[in-house]
Amino acid sequence: MNIFNGTGDQIVSQWKSLRKEITGINKNERISKTISFWKYAPLVNFVLNYNEYMRWPTPWDIIHDNFYDSISIAYLMSQTLLMSGDDESEHEFRYVKINDETDYLMILVINQKYVLNYSYDSVIDISDINYRNCLIKLKYENKKLKEIV
């Protein structure tokens, strides 16, 4: 059963269980379980604006609405991992266009090595990705996202 067919409260409860489950396990397993959870989220065209990151709602609000785009999925993956033990300095977001035929998508880069949300249900090594353009890069600083250049 896809948990995203449930109510907002049910999804939040499942997300809480996931965070408890992955706290304290090794990073690769945490990443894998996080991807496995979020891969079932139904995608829509637009939820979050990439350049209004300072106004993004809380993860709980996004989950309660139960609408997701590539930006919100990358953000929720990051929040899942951060609440389960990752250090915020390890996470970077990039809003990229892979080629002329694709839309922009938000990827999550961890430790300048692991890339999440670039390919469905996969972790990609950063040396194996290519993209045509990057509109914005964001990093956490004191629990807030900041644009980096």
pLDDT of residue 146: 95
pLDDT band of residue 134 (cuts 50, 70, 90) is very high
pLDDT beyond 80 at 67: yes
- Which amino acid is present at 142? N
| SS3 label, residue 52 | helix
C-alpha to C-alpha distance for 9 and 64, rounded to whole angstroms:
7
Give the other-Cβ count within 10 Å of 47's Cβ. 18
User: Which of 70, 114, 68 is closest to 92 using CA atoms?
Assistant: 114
Contact present, 124 and 133 (Cβ < 8 Å): no
Indicate the SS3 state at residue 84. coil
Instruction: Tell whether the model's pLDDT for residue 120 goes beyond 90.
Output: no
Q: For 78-109, how does the pLDDT look when each residue is reduced to its tens digit (9 = 90+)?
A: 999 999 999 999 999 999 999 989 899 999 99
pLDDT at 53: 95
Would you say residue 19 has pLDDT above 90?
A: yes
| Helices 27-38/70-82 angle, 10° precision | 140
1 pLDDT band (50/70/90 cuts)? confident
**pLDDT given for residue 149 in this prediction:** 81
What share of the chain in percent tops pLDDT 90?
92
Q: What is the mean pLDDT of residues 60-77?
A: 97
